[in-house]
């Protein structure tokens, strides 16, 4: 039997996606498992509170960036498959499975934000609401964090299938708040940082590029293939001559 890599890829993504999905769900949980192990074995360093705040805060941003990455990744993959004349993956629909990862990464971003918030409210402030109120007044970057958390909360609640069906077009609008959200998260991080760390610069550049991509699409500088009904179409369809770039 002839069995090549393309065949294997097709098989895994189309027929075994549920296993690929579980793999990503597990991989995204690994940082939490490591943190729990470090917590249990008291290996959180000399300042466990700072360490937990740092790691959970970074994970929120990393998962947000991964969430933003999925849509361009889907379009670029099908474009490359067409360009290099590969047998499989030329149609956008071949990459639909990748979109499901967007929801997983988004929910993990929310999950780590809950941990980040819990570390602050519980470990740092000992659930003393008066202190928390005073701290927010003293360090306004925390307020930016709270606003970001609320946006993530709304997005997480509305990501259930029942609500997606009920909200229809409104759902899309609600979930577009990921763009201001990613900027707010960076403001929170820039504001609290005393020095300019390399991670801060890296996250900012990646977020900038991913948002720039959306702006280029919205302003039609980068064109997405659409059919007469306005639906995105596969790269196998003929592209109108006036369409410049392909992602």
Contacts with ligand HEM, residue ranges (CB under 6 A): 53-54, 57-58, 60-61, 113, 116-117, 120, 142, 145-146, 148-149, 152, 185, 188-189, 192
Query: Cα separation of 90 and 12, whole Å?
Result: 16
Nearer to ligand HEM, 112 or 247 (CB): 112
C-beta of residue 53 within 8 angstroms of C-beta of residue 74? no
| Pick from 64, 63, 53: nearest CA to 184 | 64
Min. distance of Cβ 200 from ligand HEM in angstroms? 8
Min. distance of Cβ 73 from ligand HEM in angstroms? 21
Nearer to ligand HEM, 126 or 240 (CB): 126
Min. distance of Cβ 150 from ligand HEM in angstroms? 8
| Cβ-based neighbour number of residue 203 at 10 Å | 21
C-beta of residue 189 within 8 angstroms of C-beta of residue 203? yes
Nearer to ligand HEM, 51 or 88 (CB): 51
Q: Find residue 226's DSSP bridge partners.
A: 232
In sequence order, the 6+-apart residues with CB closer than 8 A to the CB of 141 are 187, 188, 191, 192
Min. distance of Cβ 47 from ligand HEM in angstroms? 10
Min. distance of Cβ 212 from ligand HEM in angstroms? 20
| Cβ-based neighbour number of residue 228 at 10 Å | 6
Nearer to ligand HEM, 73 or 192 (CB): 192
Query: Cα separation of 177 and 46, whole Å?
Result: 37
Nearer to ligand HEM, 98 or 185 (CB): 185
Q: Structure tokens of 169? A: 């077009």
Nearer to ligand HEM, 57 or 89 (CB): 57
Min. distance of Cβ 149 from ligand HEM in angstroms? 4
Mapping DSSP to helix (H, G, I), strand (E, B) and coil, where does residue 45 land?
A: coil
């Amino acid at each position: 039997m002839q069995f090549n890599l393309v065949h294997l890829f097709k098989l895994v993504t189309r027929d075994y996606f549920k296993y690929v999905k579980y793999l990503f769900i597990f991989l995204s949980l690994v940082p939490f498992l490591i943190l729990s192990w470090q917590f249990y074995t008291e290996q959180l360093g000399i300042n466990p509170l700072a360490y937990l705040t740092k790691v959970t805060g970074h994970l929120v941003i990393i998962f947000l960036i991964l969430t933003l990455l999925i849509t361009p990744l889907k379009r670029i993959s099908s474009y490359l498959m067409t360009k290099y004349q590969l047998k499989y993956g030329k149609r956008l629909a071949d990459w639909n499975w990748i979109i499901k990862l967007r929801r997983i990464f988004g929910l993990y971003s929310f999950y780590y934000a809950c941990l980040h918030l819990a570390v602050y409210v519980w470990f740092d402030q000992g659930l003393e609401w008066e202190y928390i109120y005073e701290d927010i007044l003293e360090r306004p970057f925390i307020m930016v964090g709270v606003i970001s958390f609320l946006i993530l909360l709304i997005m997480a609640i509305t990501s259930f299938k029942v609500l997606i069906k009920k909200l229809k077009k409104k759902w899309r609008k609600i979930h577009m708040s990921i763009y201001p959200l990613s900027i707010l998260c960076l403001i929170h991080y820039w504001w609290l940082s005393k020095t300019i760390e390399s991670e801060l610069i890296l996250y900012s550049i990646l977020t900038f590029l991913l948002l720039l991509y959306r702006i280029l699409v919205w302003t039609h500088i980068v064109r997405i293939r659409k059919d007469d009904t306005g639906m995105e179409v596969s790269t196998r369809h003929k592209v109108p001559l006036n369409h410049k770039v392909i992602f």
